[in-house]
Amino acid sequence: MPTAVGTNGAMTPGRQCLDTAEGVLIALRHCTVDEAFREMIRAAQQHQVPLFTLADALVTAAGGKAECPNAAARTAVLAEWGALLQTTAPL
């Protein structure tokens, strides 16, 4: 999977958040990076939420924070991974 980089060669904030969200799923599901990415894509499409928005909501929820600026993304995260997030300590 290609890495999105800015003009200065640094990874974009959206890509950093997506990588972190993949790490959350890897930790929760014990899956590969590719499996985590595919799961994020599927969930984003199913819930009609932009991928980076969903990734941000997942990282926020995994950090134990209740607030999320996008209600649809928060709802999607809870529907997809809420049970897993509740059974683990904040990452």
Mind listing the pLDDT tens digit for each residue in 38-55?
999 999 999 999 999 999
Within-domain flag for 61? yes
Question: Taking the mean position of all CA atoms in its chain, how far away is CA 39?
Answer: 9
Q: Is the pLDDT of residue 5 over 70?
A: no
Secondary structure string (H, E, C) spanning 16-46: HHHHHHHHHHHHHHCCCHHHHHHHHHHHHHH
Within-domain flag for 91? no
Within-domain flag for 35? yes
Contact residues for 74 (Cβ-Cβ < 8 A; gap 6+): 57, 60, 61, 68
Question: What pLDDT is attached to residue 2?
Answer: 45
Q: Is the pLDDT of residue 14 over 90?
A: no
Domain that residue 52 falls in: 13-86
Within-domain flag for 2? no
Within-domain flag for 70? yes
Within-domain flag for 5? no
Question: What pLDDT is attached to residue 91?
Answer: 46
Q: What is the model's pTM?
A: 0.81
Within-domain flag for 7? no
Structurally, the chain folds into a number of domains equal to 1
pLDDT tens digit sequence for 15-74: 999 999 999 999 999 999 999 999 999 999 999 999 999 999 999 999 988 778 899 999
Within-domain flag for 24? yes
